[in-house]
Amino acid sequence: MANSLDWSNARKILEGELLSVILPVYNLGSSIAENLESVASCLDSGDFRYELVPVDDGSADASAEAIRAYAETFTSRHASRAACRPVLIAKNAGKGSALKAGFRASTGSYVLLLDGDLDIAPKMLPKFFDSMAKNGSDIVIGSKRHPESSVQYPWHRRLASAIYFGLVRLVVGLPVTDTQTGMKLFRRKVLGDALDRMLVKTYAFDLELLSIAYERGAKVSEAPVEIRFGQKFGALKPRTVREMMTDTLAVFYRLRILHYYAKVEVPPPLERNPFVSVVIACPAGSWMLDECLKGLAEQTYRDFEVIVLPDQPLPSDSSLTTYNFQLSIIPTGKVRPAEKRNAGIAAAKGDVVAFIDDDAYPEARWLENAVKYFSEPTIGAVGGPGVTPPGDGFLAQAGGRVYENLLVSGNYRYRYKAGGVRRDVDDYPSCNLFVGKSLLDSFGGYRTDFWPGEDTLLCKDVIDSGKRIVYDPWIVVYHHRRALFAPHLRQLGRYAFHRGYFCKRYPSNSLHASYFVPSAFVAYLIAWLPVSCISTVPGSWAAMLQMAFLVVPLGAYLLLTLLTAFSTHPLMWLLTALGVFLSHVWYGIRFICGLCASKAPCEYIGRDHAQKI
């Protein structure tokens, strides 16, 4: 069959240029070598240059080993006309992240995205080039609804596809009949431009990619596909459907309401890779520090050093010397985090200093996703979300859900949840913060008279210097949470006290109306009891006003708390809702204490560290 394929338009379009085929892979260890060989056999009949870029997205099986073994034999069999460039991601991060990683590793002027399970036959690729030649397209997508498509598709998949297609046409308006078929051909420049603006990492990745490209002027056409899906049910689980609908509506909101994709900032290419100094302030060695260092060892960006600042020298039998990066351990004695980080800044050799807490660990592309912003001279610092790790204990997960709750963090939820949009911010925590070294030196690093709150003042200094602080949702660390209730509330109370104190002393990046809302809620609760004791005549206006004051606001609050705290796990739902209420009360009280205080206390780092429970 391969010998009968008509590649004439493909050769005409490529004109000696390279075709990159990016294949996302997850748990395909038993079949991926055979699938790669099928793709290679098909492409070999085209008599043009190509490269295979299989991307293992943190598979739990032997996929990575199978890809590596296949790549070793591939090059010797294909000489200089073809190559196999495997990309092996240590932890699963979603299809979007995998395809972005594959794109960065690829070199072709044209890029084919092809699902690694090969449910879609690669022999239809000549038809894609035919469509590109006929329509002058920048993108050709495979469509199950193309009249020439041959599709063996179970009824439940057809139904889901039809419903989703209707939703896409209604809310996004893409002029295509399919977005989710896993075979798409791009001109490299068009794909790169869209990937630079993307936010979705999982199920609605394809929709967002096409929406961005089309909005930015790319011409899209369709080509037939051959699909043999068998009776696999696929990923149509309730959670999958819910997340895909949420992401789809988010794409609509960003595309049609915010017009985000048209105005999002894309920094210019780096002239050179900046050297990064990663600074970790910690009280001592721990399982969390080991986890953090392991995450750094898995970074795709390799131009960095790590500086660990414990109170005392670490044990001589420590495994810290086995990591594949330059590591410095600088004992500081028992001092505050700001003083530790300043010692790290002084020792740093990098152009950029990356701050991460020892109770956090980074995604594999943490450094790579952050350093690109330092090509823009107006940017002084960048940060990203600190997401609750999936392995945290039940009560710590509950604490994380409280921080992520809309009623608790409001417009600042982006600090605790992956997702959201890129934005300029005026304050960001040091658990995930990158700052230019020369900028830090210009104002002397951290103030040492506050903890917590030292990172708020650092950000104030960055803003006061005329530089910007940018948040990017792809710059992800996993930050262990304090368990509900006592550790969580103790940490939150410290934050609230300093925020109240800073509101009056450093208002430029602390005086925001949202910080006062919990205190207003506490004032309402205090007024609730005396108002309820006022004697009124049943049915009178006074009685109705009294009832409105007592029942309506509190009832609405409790309903919203239950809705936003919802979980299919009844105990998690209850704990989260109670945690939201107690967080509001305690934050409101401590904020008022800070607002009224003449001086803010400064504590040491050793207290209230996250625990493995």
Please state the three-class secondary structure of 248-317 as a single string: HHHHHHHHHHCCHHHHCCCCCCCCCCCCEEEEEECCCCCHHHHHHHHHHHCCCCCCEEEEEECCCCCCCC
- CA distances in angstroms from 5 to 125, 129, 185, 214, 222, listed in the order given: 9, 12, 17, 30, 19
**pLDDT at residue 316 in the model:** 66
**pLDDT at residue 545 in the model:** 80
The gap between the terminal CA atoms of the chain, to the nearest Å, is 58
Matching residue, tokens 């910007």? 468
pTM: 0.85
Last residue of a domain, one of 439, 469, 492: 492
**pLDDT at residue 606 in the model:** 46
- For residue 287 the two structure tokens come to 């399982």
Clarify whether residues 280 and 163 are in a common domain.
no
- For residue 612 the two structure tokens come to 């493995």
Clarify whether residues 483 and 589 are in a common domain.
no
Q: Are strands 423-425 and 50-57 parallel, antiparallel or unpaired?
A: unpaired
DSSP state, residue 359:
T
Clarify whether residues 253 and 282 are in a common domain.
no
Last residue of a domain, one of 466, 492, 518: 492
Q: Tell me whether residue 612 is in a domain.
A: no
Q: Tell me whether residue 153 is in a domain.
A: yes
Maximum CA extent, the chain = 94
Clarify whether residues 163 and 53 are in a common domain.
yes
Clarify whether residues 174 and 32 are in a common domain.
yes
Q: Which amino acid is at 434?
A: F
Instruction: State the Cα–Cα distance between residues 337 and 454, nearest whole angstrom.
Output: 8
**pLDDT at residue 584 in the model:** 97
How many CA atoms lie within 13 Å of 44's alpha carbon, on the beta-carbon side?
15
Residue 440 backbone zone (phi > 0: left; psi -120 to 50: alpha; other: beta): alpha
* SS3 label, residue 141: strand
* SS3 label, residue 522: helix
**pLDDT at residue 538 in the model:** 77
Last residue of a domain, one of 439, 466, 492: 492
Instruction: State the Cα–Cα distance between residues 550 and 295, nearest whole angstrom.
Output: 51
Q: Tell me whether residue 64 is in a domain.
A: yes
Q: Tell me whether residue 319 is in a domain.
A: yes
pLDDT, one tens digit per residue, over 489-500 is 999 999 999 999
**pLDDT at residue 96 in the model:** 83
Q: Tell me whether residue 605 is in a domain.
A: no
Matching residue, tokens 């085929």? 21
Clarify whether residues 476 and 345 are in a common domain.
yes
Clarify whether residues 215 and 299 are in a common domain.
no
Clarify whether residues 330 and 351 are in a common domain.
yes
Residue 569 belongs to what domain range?
507-596
Domain harbouring 293, CATH code: 3.90.550.10
* SS3 label, residue 387: strand
Q: Across the 613 residues of the chain, what is the mean pLDDT of every consecutive 10-residue run?
A: 79 95 94 94 92 94 94 78 90 84 94 93 95 96 91 72 76 82 95 91 84 94 84 58 82 90 89 96 93 93 96 74 86 93 97 97 94 96 96 95 95 87 93 97 91 90 96 95 95 92 89 93 88 76 77 91 95 97 97 90 53 50
Q: Tell me whether residue 498 is in a domain.
A: no
- CA distances in angstroms from 461 to 113, 302, 356, 445, listed in the order given: 44, 29, 19, 9
How many CA atoms lie within 13 Å of 72's alpha carbon, on the beta-carbon side?
6
Clarify whether residues 100 and 174 are in a common domain.
yes
Clarify whether residues 543 and 488 are in a common domain.
no
**pLDDT at residue 613 in the model:** 46
Residue 104 neighbours by CB distance under 10 Å: 14
Q: Between vectors from CA 602 to CA 596 and to CA 608, what angle results, nearest 5°?
A: 110
- For residue 502 the two structure tokens come to 């800073």
Clarify whether residues 513 and 591 are in a common domain.
yes
Q: How many structural domains does the chain have?
A: 3
Q: Are strands 82-84 and 110-114 parallel, antiparallel or unpaired?
A: unpaired
Matching residue, tokens 């295979």? 52
Q: Tell me whether residue 360 is in a domain.
A: yes
Q: Tell me whether residue 499 is in a domain.
A: no
**pLDDT at residue 318 in the model:** 55
Clarify whether residues 208 and 305 are in a common domain.
no
* SS3 label, residue 439: helix
Instruction: State the Cα–Cα distance between residues 318 and 331, nearest whole angstrom.
Output: 14
Q: Which long-range contacts (CB under 8 A, 24 or more apart) does 320-326 make?
A: 320/285, 320/293, 323/293, 323/296, 323/297, 324/297, 325/296, 325/297
pLDDT, one tens digit per residue, over 118-142 is 989 999 999 999 999 999 999 999 9
